[in-house]
Amino acid sequence: MPRRVRLPLAAAVVVVNAVQWVVSEAVAAAAWSHPPYSYAANYISDLGVPDCGTQFQGRDICSPDHALMNASFIAEGILFAFGIVLLARLVAGRTRRVVVALALAHGVGMVLVGLFHGSRGGVSVGLAIHGGGAAVGILCANALAIIAGSLRSLGLPVAYRVFSIVVGASGLLSEAFVGASAGTAGVFERGGVYSWLLWSSVTGVLLLAGQLRRPGVVENVAV
């Protein structure tokens, strides 16, 4: 695929991916009326649980639009991985292999998040797969942001590089505090998820606007 096609396509994919996630989450949360869904206390994954009227880890769960949220999880994994694999052509050698591996691992992890969910039975194989997939997805996506900011060879703007590192590191740090309080679990989980959604959407918008493609930035990268 020619670079003039690959870069705009990758940029559009990662932007669309972030938008579909945020919109799907908002729609699913709005449909959850009893009890009201809390962005602060409820996990994002609660929106994908199909068992209405159940309780899990002290939270009452009933998500009428669980199918939409699970489809969004799966779509996110596929779209993000596809977009990042296309962008991986900007680098070569070991770095490219690492980027591709992280993108694919994220994709698989998020697909598993959409296919498996927490249930009223408590700890189960499905829940373990869900949790493992989420952990891999969050870790890999934030690591990709940090790597993007660490690459000096592309000649990316300093502001963008600092932004990428700060956002990725903040996402990982936020996840470390998810279990600190039941009332803030959703806040910190979103800190670890919205970080990569923000990074990828900003990256996509800057690429589409030509801000990451001026002379000396991506013209000399591997094709």
Beta-bridge partner residues of 61: 54
Question: Between residues 182 and 99, which one has the greater pLDDT?
Answer: 99
Query: CB within 8 A of 149, min separation 6: which ones?
Result: 156, 160, 161, 162, 163, 164, 165, 166, 168
Of 1-5, 101-105, 150-154, 211-215, minimum mean pLDDT range: 211-215
Helices (H), the chain: 3-31, 66-87, 93-115, 125-150, 158-175, 185-208
pLDDT on residue 222: 41
Tokens of 125: 């194989």
- pLDDT tens for 14-72 read 999 999 999 999 999 999 987 889 999 999 999 999 888 777 777 888 899 999 999 99
Three-class secondary structure of residue 117 per DSSP: coil
Tokens of 127: 């829940």
Tokens of 145: 């942001």
In the 8-state DSSP scheme, what is residue 37? P
- pLDDT tens for 164-217 read 999 999 999 999 998 778 788 899 999 999 999 999 999 999 999 888 754 444
pLDDT on residue 6: 84
Of 58-62, 64-68, 128-132, 149-153, minimum mean pLDDT range: 58-62
Q: How far apart are CA 134 and CA 151, in angstroms?
A: 26
In the 8-state DSSP scheme, what is residue 38? -
